[in-house]
């Protein structure tokens, strides 16, 4: 499966890179190579070692062994600054920008060549305009970063790297925060950059994107390279096998919800103002039927987080009412709503879903600690907690050593399984699932989806809030699009298609 | 998938690792103490005194006689009791720096009850005084948390400020309305014999409060580790957002942990007044409420650890005056050692990092 | 990373070298530098203790004496009097002694008890606020003898001593009224304890004897040690016309220097604090009392009761004038000296009045 290296001049080569964290091997003799003007996709599940490998390249981690060559010359990357000097630029998943400063000033930060201690902003601005034109980035260097859209901010990061002389650009999961349209735009830029002779390393676990943008693909699995192939030699199905080691079916046969299914949840003109008194939810209406998955699509930051929190009782809406099974729950506390049959799978599971520093067992009883059989007369029943926890760990295939280990020691997928196990073991009636597969690998995502469908089969209602269109389309019976705190449209899955939803997500209703 | 035998081995390995972690944690506390004593020795040497003589005097002063052991334990009583209260609050991430004020008010109201019913049978009067002290301490602490919940006012700053209010208020009381008639001193009249805690060791001042302290340590350990309340305190302290989302009444958790904390401080005040001074006096506490914070942290917020740390600090403080008398090292050298313990303990992360690095080096070398 | 390990090792070696160096020098008794001269005395028993307690020394008695003080022994006031008396008496008698300074009221019982438990036969509790604490310990240690400063309640093994410096205060009042040009003199004091009230009344009586028209101001600042407050009170009295102040606390002499008025010290010779303004000081010497009590304890003849050592016993007297006596009118000086002699012979008894003042 390893074709000989091409005779073209090699821009970057990493050979036999090995990185260990304690006894855990993050990279085990990994080889990658990128040519001039090429896009290399680094494909792998979460925890496969992609980020570790790129941290080696960015000079953040020193490998235990292995060699790095740039233009045939062996180099040792000593520090992040040294990495920049070698022409390597990294665009992190979370932007490293100061929102209150202009683009040009952001570029100047930490750059002595721009003038020290007072950078020559005018000069930098002119240079930035030139680079922006050359690579078709369309950025105004004077613009304040906070006024720019997420997609533009990403282009600012790219511009920043290019200004610092990057020839090899690393993009870490760049599409995870973009709308379909923005993703499309980013791909245009990547093609333009490679056309100009830059090399791009594109980190992703999304098969369709990898197939679309890359020239070559290196697949990592559990720290090892499982394949190094050109795009033309492979397809999505093969890649997914290489990545997760087993094939999974993406298409499902779901029994449609009977039209007479009764309404489980009714959200009636909910309005919510944030701390700055800005409206985040505006008279939002929504219903969820029994046995239905209602998908909420939308670009991040259009009120999804607040919607979930208002439903879970963590935030109090300023007006409007919420009914579960016809009962008004608007004024009920989170605890009372949980008793009423609500389950909440929060988007930020490490902050809202789990207590990272306590044991798995103690995480399982977070909602039920005051109830029998978990406790009696205020005293915890550890036998019961232990046995129930062990059973849940088995049922939900949570990979762990002991119920006494902390949640923080679990991988992201297993943490999510922990949340699911806890929420679903309470036999809830209504489930809010916020970004349930965020940050999970293919196998764990599949598991989560199966469990959600299982709940649907049991006749429970599920509100699925996700920015991943694939997930929405795969699971939902109905799809609503949220935009600036309002539901723009609700479509049945038969009617909905990606373009239409994609346009609605950017606020365009006139189609 | 692991098979069963594998699983068992891994679980054993995990338990071993956990035990090692616990030992390292305890080690960091002990390490801080030892290192502080070494640095203290250097300072004592610079003062022109043989550190071994000084430490011998210190140990002799703290544990050399029946009386000094009793005094050490007696000093540990307010530190341990207040310390376990602070432990509960800190566990809920409520930073109660107000134990000093809570102790003063608790002691005052306990004494007021004692003075009001001097003829009641001790079996009724003493619990009544204890309850009065605990309720007063709890209420005073509770105010700080109510301010936090209502106005989002930082409880750490509130409690510090409320210390001053409490201490000066008590000072005014013992110089004014409840001052002993005819005395120029800031103190109330003496408590009747019925209102004084019985002595449990002859010829010493060790009173029954020490036994109660041991029981309270056990009780607090049980509360924190075995009850729903303790569980909710722990998870809320670690992650209040997740706890709130999971339906735990975090406001009640905050308030109740502080009520407990204040009650313990009030109880300590009752012990000091009814066990040691036999009246309320100005300056009844020499900073026990503050030292107890250090004691709680050094005890790793574990009630049993807190008890050990309290005895250590009690011994240091009692031994210090003997050291001063015997070899002429000022008692403030011991205060210095106490603060060094604090600094080194806070810096223990760096300490354990160094140890880890040393282990790693050894492994690489081997 | 090896480097860091070496560094730590180096620190440990350095620390231990220092320690051993310390041990070695200590074997030579004169080599160890001592910070304060006063501490040397305290070291004497320690050195013996660590050597061997059973070895017979050239001491005349195995009685050990301890004193518990409420403030620092170098306060040139109450606590200095106590310590100096203890030191002089015990060195003369050749008995071992120890002391604890700056002991708070809350901690007094513990410290007194500690000495009792450690076998000290005679313990002085040198503060009128230690009386009750001493009483409690005395009940537990009937073999030990306690002497508490101006205590109200006594037992068989607990006596008391007072400081009849009100006798001196009477003379001070005479002197102050005699040299005052404004006809107003002042008295700045800490707290209104019975002893201080006796002093104030005597001061007033003395002043009135010298000048029936005299006006005597008085202030109790509510604390034994609060120099800014004492100074403030003194300045207030000066502004009301006082040109001679009796200083019963730190801060008053400062005010006298600043406002150029006369000050009269108390307890020890405080002239060094203001060589130009401190005319003299009413001295109190605890040495005769401590010496007699200790001797009685050694002899086994001690009986409980109050020991009052005043002018007649040489325990209360005026300090040197340090050349300032030229400012005193001859007739005033003569009257004061005559009164001193009269008190000494018992011809005149200074009225003892501890009633409260406003």
Q: What is the CATH number of the domain that holds C201?
A: 3.40.50.2300
| B359 and A CB contact within 8 Å | no
The pLDDT confidence band at residue A4, using thresholds 50, 70 and 90, is: very low
* Co-location of C246 and C180 in the same domain: yes
Task: CATH number for A248-341+428-511: choose from 3.40.50.2300, 3.40.50.300, 3.40.630.40, 3.40.50.720.
Answer: 3.40.50.300
Most confident of A111-115, A150-154, B145-149: B145-149
Helix H or strand E encompassing C297:
helix C287-299
* DSSP string computed for B138-151: HHHHHHHHHHHHHH
Q: Does C110 map to a domain? A: yes
Whether C33 and B48 have beta carbons less than 8 Å apart is answered as yes
| B53 and C CB contact within 8 Å | yes
Spell out which residues of chain B touch residue A379, defining contact as CB-CB under 8 Å.
226-228
Spell out which residues of chain B touch residue C111, defining contact as CB-CB under 8 Å.
321
Burial code of A455-467, b = ≥16 C-beta within 10 A, e = fewer? Answer: bbeeebbbbbbbb
Please give the pLDDT value at position C45. 41
* Co-location of C80 and C170 in the same domain: no
Distant-in-sequence, close-in-space partners of A128: CB < 8 Å, separation ≥ 6: A103, A104, A107, A139, A141, A159, A163
Residue C151's SS3 state is coil
Distant-in-sequence, close-in-space partners of C51: CB < 8 Å, separation ≥ 6: none
* Co-location of C153 and C292 in the same domain: yes
How far is Cα of residue A32 from the mean position of the Cα atoms in its chain?
25
* Co-location of C121 and C183 in the same domain: no
Cα distance between residue A29 and residue A224, in whole Å: 7
Number of domains within chain B:
1
Q: Does B285 map to a domain? A: yes
Could A402 and B228 be called an inter-chain contact, meaning their C-beta atoms sit closer than 8 Å?
no
Q: Does C13 map to a domain? A: no
The pLDDT confidence band at residue B340, using thresholds 50, 70 and 90, is: confident
pLDDT digits (tens, 9 = 90+) for A433-450: 999 988 787 788 889 999
CA-wise closest residue to A217 among A207, A229, A208 = A229
Residue C51 has pLDDT above 50, yes or no: no
Q: Does B89 map to a domain? A: yes
| A354 and B CB contact within 8 Å | yes
Residue B52's SS3 state is helix
Whether A90 and A30 have beta carbons less than 8 Å apart is answered as no
Could B239 and A404 be called an inter-chain contact, meaning their C-beta atoms sit closer than 8 Å?
no
**A198 or B345: whose pLDDT is higher?**
A198
* Co-location of C215 and C195 in the same domain: yes
Shortest Cα distance, chain B CAs vs residue C3, angstroms:
11
B239 closest CB neighbour out of A344, A356, A401: A356
* Co-location of C244 and C120 in the same domain: no
pLDDT digits (tens, 9 = 90+) for B84-143: 999 999 999 999 999 999 999 999 999 999 999 999 999 999 999 999 999 999 999 999
* Co-location of C332 and C189 in the same domain: yes
Mark whether C and B touch (3+ CB pairs within 8 Å).
yes
Spell out which residues of chain B touch residue A402, defining contact as CB-CB under 8 Å.
10-11, 14-15
The pLDDT confidence band at residue C140, using thresholds 50, 70 and 90, is: very high
Mark whether A and C touch (3+ CB pairs within 8 Å).
no
Distant-in-sequence, close-in-space partners of A144: CB < 8 Å, separation ≥ 6: A99, A100, A101, A102
| B235 and A CB contact within 8 Å | yes
B67 closest CB neighbour out of C5, C114, C222: C114
Percent pLDDT > 70 in chain A is 94
Q: Is the dihedral of CA B216, B221, B223, B224 positive or negative?
A: positive
What is the CB neighbour count within 10 angstroms for residue B176?
9
Closest-CA residue of chain C to B39: C15
As a 3-state breakdown, chain B gives helix, strand, coil percent values, each rounded to 5, of: 80, 0, 20
Please give the pLDDT value at position A5. 36
CA-wise closest residue to A181 among A154, A209, A151, A155 = A151
The pLDDT confidence band at residue A47, using thresholds 50, 70 and 90, is: low
Closest-CA residue of chain B to A402: B11
Shortest Cα distance, chain A CAs vs residue B3, angstroms:
12
| A315 and B CB contact within 8 Å | no
Whether A193 and A168 have beta carbons less than 8 Å apart is answered as no
* Co-location of C335 and C218 in the same domain: yes
Opening angle at CA B197, ends B193 and B198, nearest 5: 90
What is the CB neighbour count within 10 angstroms for residue C251?
20
Spell out which residues of chain B touch residue C141, defining contact as CB-CB under 8 Å.
203
Q: Which residue has the tokens 């067992």?
A: A361
Could A338 and B231 be called an inter-chain contact, meaning their C-beta atoms sit closer than 8 Å?
no
Please give the pLDDT value at position A25. 79
* DSSP string computed for A109-157: TT-GGG-SSS--HHHHHHHHHHHHHHTT----TTSBGGGS-HHHHHHHH
Q: Of A142-146, B347-351, C132-136, where does mean pLDDT reach its minimum? A: B347-351
**B172 or A220: whose pLDDT is higher?**
B172
Cα distance between residue C346 and residue C348, in whole Å: 5
pLDDT digits (tens, 9 = 90+) for A309-342: 999 999 999 999 999 998 999 999 999 999 999 9
Q: What is the CATH number of the domain that holds B65?
A: 1.10.3470
| B321 and C CB contact within 8 Å | yes
Q: Does B365 map to a domain? A: no
Could A401 and B245 be called an inter-chain contact, meaning their C-beta atoms sit closer than 8 Å?
no
Spell out which residues of chain A touch residue B245, defining contact as CB-CB under 8 Å.
312, 314, 334, 344, 346, 352-353
**C91 or A21: whose pLDDT is higher?**
C91
Could A369 and B243 be called an inter-chain contact, meaning their C-beta atoms sit closer than 8 Å?
no
Residue A378 has pLDDT above 70, yes or no: yes
The range of the structural domain enclosing residue C185 comes to 166-284+328-345
Average pLDDT over residues A214-222: 88
Q: How far is CA C315 from CA A375, B56, B96, C282, C306, in A?
A: 76, 39, 53, 10, 15
Mark whether B and A touch (3+ CB pairs within 8 Å).
yes
Shortest Cα distance, chain C CAs vs residue B202, angstroms:
8
Could B245 and A356 be called an inter-chain contact, meaning their C-beta atoms sit closer than 8 Å?
no
Q: Of A5-14, A389-398, A490-499, B309-318, where does mean pLDDT reach its minimum? A: A5-14
Q: Which residue has the tokens 């940050």?
A: A439
Q: Does C335 map to a domain? A: yes
Radius of gyration of chain A (CA): 25
* Co-location of C183 and C216 in the same domain: yes
The range of the structural domain enclosing residue B103 comes to 48-329
Tokens in use for A236?
């999505």
pTM, rounded to two decimals: 0.74
**B6 or C195: whose pLDDT is higher?**
C195
pLDDT digits (tens, 9 = 90+) for C80-105: 999 999 999 999 999 999 998 888 88
A357 closest CB neighbour out of B229, B238, B246: B238
Spell out which residues of chain B touch residue C153, defining contact as CB-CB under 8 Å.
none
Could C50 and B56 be called an inter-chain contact, meaning their C-beta atoms sit closer than 8 Å?
yes
Mean pLDDT over each residue of chain C, to the nearest integer: 83
Whether A336 and A370 have beta carbons less than 8 Å apart is answered as no
B-contacting chains (≥3 CB pairs under 8 Å): A, C
Tokens in use for A73?
């010359």
C42 closest CB neighbour out of B205, B328, B360: B328
pLDDT digits (tens, 9 = 90+) for C247-272: 988 889 999 999 999 999 998 999 99
A232 CB burial (10 A radius; 0-12, 13-18, 19+):
exposed
| B24 and A CB contact within 8 Å | no
* Co-location of C154 and C224 in the same domain: no
A358 closest CB neighbour out of B226, B238, B245: B238
* Co-location of C124 and C246 in the same domain: no
Please give the pLDDT value at position B351. 65
Tokens in use for B116?
């009001």
User: CA dihedral in degrees (B147, B150, B156, B157; nearest 10)?
Assistant: -60
Closest-CA residue of chain B to A383: B226
Q: Of A111-120, B199-208, C209-218, where does mean pLDDT reach its minimum? A: A111-120
Closest-CA residue of chain C to B53: C50
A363 CB burial (10 A radius; 0-12, 13-18, 19+):
buried
Closest-CA residue of chain A to B248: A335
Beta-sheet pairing, C122-126 with C64-69: parallel
Q: Does C15 map to a domain? A: no
Task: List helix spans (H) across A18-120.
Answer: 50-57, 80-85, 103-108
Whether A170 and A89 have beta carbons less than 8 Å apart is answered as yes
* Co-location of C175 and C208 in the same domain: yes
Strand partners, C68: C100, C125
Please give the pLDDT value at position B1. 41
Strand partners, C148: C125, C160
H and E: helices and strands count for chain C = 11, 12
| A335 and B CB contact within 8 Å | yes
C-contacting chains (≥3 CB pairs under 8 Å): B
Residue C331 has pLDDT above 80, yes or no: yes
Could A312 and B228 be called an inter-chain contact, meaning their C-beta atoms sit closer than 8 Å?
no
What is the CB neighbour count within 10 angstroms for residue B335?
15
Could B227 and A369 be called an inter-chain contact, meaning their C-beta atoms sit closer than 8 Å?
no
Q: Of A276-280, B103-107, B345-349, C119-123, where does mean pLDDT reach its minimum? A: B345-349
User: How many residue pairs bridge chain B and chain C with CB atoms within 8 Å of each other?
Assistant: 118
User: How many residue pairs bridge chain A and chain B with CB atoms within 8 Å of each other?
Assistant: 84
| B286 and C CB contact within 8 Å | yes
| A429 and B CB contact within 8 Å | no
Provide the chain B residues 286-345 that lie in CB contact (below 8 A) with chain A: none
Beta-sheet pairing, A39-44 with A65-70: unpaired
Spell out which residues of chain B touch residue C132, defining contact as CB-CB under 8 Å.
190
Whether B49 and C32 have beta carbons less than 8 Å apart is answered as yes
Number of domains within chain C:
2
Could B14 and A405 be called an inter-chain contact, meaning their C-beta atoms sit closer than 8 Å?
yes
Please give the pLDDT value at position A244. 65
Superfamily classification of domain A10-244: P-loop containing nucleotide triphosphate hydrolases (3.40.50.300)
Distant-in-sequence, close-in-space partners of B318: CB < 8 Å, separation ≥ 6: B61, B62, B68, B71, B72, B75, C110
Residue A257 has pLDDT above 80, yes or no: no
């Amino acid at each position: 499966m390893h074709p000989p290296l091409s005779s073209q001049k090699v821009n970057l080569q990493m050979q036999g890179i090995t990185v260990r964290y304690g006894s855990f091997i993050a990279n085990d003799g990994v080889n990658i190579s990128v040519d001039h003007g090429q896009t290399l996709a680094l494909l792998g599940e979460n925890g496969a070692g992609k980020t570790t490998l790129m941290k080696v390249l960015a000079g953040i981690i020193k490998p235990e062994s292995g060699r790095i060559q740039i233009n045939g010359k062996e180099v040792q990357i000593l520090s992040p600054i040294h990495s920049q000097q070698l022409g390597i630029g990294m665009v992190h998943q979370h932007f490293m920008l100061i929102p209150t400063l202009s683009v040009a000033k952001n570029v100047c930060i930490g750059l002595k060549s721009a003038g020290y201690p007072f950078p020559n902003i005018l000069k930098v601005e002119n240079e930035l305009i030139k680079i922006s034109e050359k690579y078709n980035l369309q950025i105004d260097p004077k613009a304040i970063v906070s006024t720019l859209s997420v997609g533009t901010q990403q282009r600012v990061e790219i511009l920043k790297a290019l200004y610092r002389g990057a020839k090899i650009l690393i993009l870490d999961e760049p599409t995870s925060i973009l709308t379909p349209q923005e993703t499309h735009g980013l791909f245009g830029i990547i093609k333009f950059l490679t056309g100009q002779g830059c090399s791009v390393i594109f980190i992703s676990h999304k098969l369709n994107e990898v197939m679309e943008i890359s020239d070559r693909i290196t697949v990592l699995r559990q720290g090892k390279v499982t394949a190094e192939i050109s795009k033309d030699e492979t397809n999505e199905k093969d890649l997914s096998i290489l990545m997760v080691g087993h094939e999974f079916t993406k298409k499902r046969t779901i029994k449609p919800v009977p039209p007479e299914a009764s309404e489980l949840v009714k959200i009636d003109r909910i309005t919510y103002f944030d701390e700055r008194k800005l409206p985040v939810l505006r008279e939002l209406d929504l219903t969820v039927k029994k046995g239905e998955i209602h998908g909420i699509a939308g670009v991040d930051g259009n009120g999804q987080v607040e919607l979930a929190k208002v439903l879970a009782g963590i935030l109090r809406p300023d007006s409007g009412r919420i009914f579960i099974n016809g009962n008004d729950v608007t004024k009920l506390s989170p605890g009372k709503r949980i008793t009423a049959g609500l389950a909440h799978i929060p988007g930020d599971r490490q902050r809202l879903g789990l207590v990272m520093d306590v044991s798995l067992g103690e995480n399982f009883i977070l909602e039920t600690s005051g109830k029998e059989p978990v406790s009696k007369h205020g005293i915890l029943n550890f036998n019961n907690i232990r046995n129930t926890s062990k059973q849940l760990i088995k049922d939900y295939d949570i990979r762990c050593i002991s119920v006494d280990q902390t949640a923080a020691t679990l991988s992201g997928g297993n943490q999510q399984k922990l949340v699911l196990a806890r929420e679903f073991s309470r036999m809830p009636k209504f489930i809010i699932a916020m970004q349930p597969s965020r940050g999970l690998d293919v196998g764990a995502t599949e598991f989560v989806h199966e469990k959600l469908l299982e709940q649907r089969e049991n006749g429970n209602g599920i509100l699925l809030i996700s920015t991943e269109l694939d997930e929405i389309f795969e699971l939902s019976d109905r799809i609503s699009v949220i935009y600036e705190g309002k539901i723009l449209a609700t479509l049945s899955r038969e009617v909905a298609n990606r373009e239409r939803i994609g346009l609605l997500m950017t606020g365009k209703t006139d189609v | 998938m692991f098979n069963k035998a594998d699983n068992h081995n891994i679980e054993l390995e995990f338990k071993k690792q956990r035990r090692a972690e616990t030992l390292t944690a305890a080690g960091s506390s002990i390490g801080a103490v030892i290192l502080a004593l070494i640095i203290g020795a250097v300072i004592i040497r610079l003062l022109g005194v043989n550190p071994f003589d000084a430490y011998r005097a210190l140990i002799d002063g703290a544990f050399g006689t029946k009386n000094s052991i009793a005094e050490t334990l007696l000093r540990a009583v307010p530190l341990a009791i207040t310390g376990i209260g602070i432990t509960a609050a800190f566990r809920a991430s409520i930073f109660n720096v107000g134990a000093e004020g809570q102790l003063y008010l608790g002691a005052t109201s306990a004494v007021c009850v004692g003075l009001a019913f001097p003829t009641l049978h001790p079996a009724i009067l003493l619990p009544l005084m204890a309850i009065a002290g605990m309720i007063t301490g709890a209420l005073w602490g509770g105010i700080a948390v109510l301010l936090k919940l209502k106005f989002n006012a930082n409880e750490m700053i509130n409690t510090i400020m409320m210390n001053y209010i409490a201490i000066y208020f008590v000072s005014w009381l013992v110089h004014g309305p409840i001052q002993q008639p005819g005395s120029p001193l800031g103190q109330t009249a003496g408590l009747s014999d019925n209102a004084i805690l019985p002595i449990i060791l002859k010829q010493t001042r060790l009173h029954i409060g020490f036994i109660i302290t041991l029981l309270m340590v056990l009780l607090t350990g049980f509360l924190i580790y075995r009850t729903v309340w303790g569980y909710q305190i722990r998870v809320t302290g670690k992650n209040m957002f997740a706890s709130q989302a999971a339906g735990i009444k975090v406001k009640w958790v905050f308030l109740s942990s502080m009520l407990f904390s204040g009650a313990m401080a009030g109880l300590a005040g009752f012990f000091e007044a009814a066990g040691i001074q036999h009246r309320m006096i100005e300056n009844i506490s020499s900073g026990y409420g503050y030292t107890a914070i250090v004691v709680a942290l050094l005890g790793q917020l574990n009630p049993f650890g807190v008890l050990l740390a309290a005895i250590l600090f009690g011994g240091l403080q009692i031994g210090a005056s003997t050291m001063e008398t015997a070899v002429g090292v000022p008692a403030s050298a011991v205060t210095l050692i106490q603060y060094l313990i604090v600094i080194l303990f806070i810096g223990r992360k760096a300490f354990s990092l160094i140890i880890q690095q040393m282990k790693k080096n050894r492994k690489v070398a081997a | 990373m090896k480097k860091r390990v070496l560094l730590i090792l180096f620190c440990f070696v350095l620390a231990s070298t220092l320690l051993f160096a310390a041990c070695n020098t200590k074997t030579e008794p004169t080599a160890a530098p001592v910070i304060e001269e006063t501490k040397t005395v305290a070291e004497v028993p320690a050195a013996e203790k660590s050597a061997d307690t059973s070895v017979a020394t050239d001491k005349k008695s195995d009685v050990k004496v301890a004193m518990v003080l409420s403030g620092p022994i170098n306060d040139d006031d109450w606590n200095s009097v106590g310590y100096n008396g203890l030191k002089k008496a015990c060195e003369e008698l050749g008995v071992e002694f120890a002391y604890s300074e700056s002991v708070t009221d809350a901690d007094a019982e513990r410290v007194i008890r500690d000495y009792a438990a450690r076998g000290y036969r005679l313990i002085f509790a040198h503060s009128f606020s230690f009386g009750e604490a001493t009483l409690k310990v005395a009940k537990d240690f009937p073999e030990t003898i306690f002497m508490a400063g101006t205590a109200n309640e006594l037992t068989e093994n607990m006596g008391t001593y007072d400081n009849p410096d009100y006798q001196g205060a009477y003379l001070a009042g005479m002197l102050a009224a005699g040299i005052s040009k404004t006809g107003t003199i002042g008295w700045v004091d800490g707290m209104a304890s019975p002893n201080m009230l006796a002093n104030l009344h005597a001061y007033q009586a003395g002043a009135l004897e010298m000048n029936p028209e005299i006006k005597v101001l008085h202030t109790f600042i509510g604390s034994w040690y609060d120099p800014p407050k004492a100074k403030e009170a003194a300045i207030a009295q000066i502004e009301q016309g006082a040109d001679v102040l009796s200083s019963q606390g730190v801060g008053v002499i400062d005010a006298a220097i600043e406002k150029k008025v006369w000050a009269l010290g108390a307890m020890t010779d405080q002239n060094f604090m203001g060589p130009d303004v401190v005319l003299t000081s009413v001295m109190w010497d605890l040495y005769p009392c401590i010496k007699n009590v200790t001797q009685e304890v050694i002899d086994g003849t001690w009986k409980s009761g109050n020991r009052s050592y005043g002018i007649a016993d040489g325990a209360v007297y005026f300090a040197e004038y340090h050349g300032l006596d030229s400012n005193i009118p001859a007739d005033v000086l003569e009257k004061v000296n005559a009164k001193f002699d009269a008190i000494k012979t018992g011809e005149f008894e200074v009225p003892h009045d501890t009633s409260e003042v406003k």
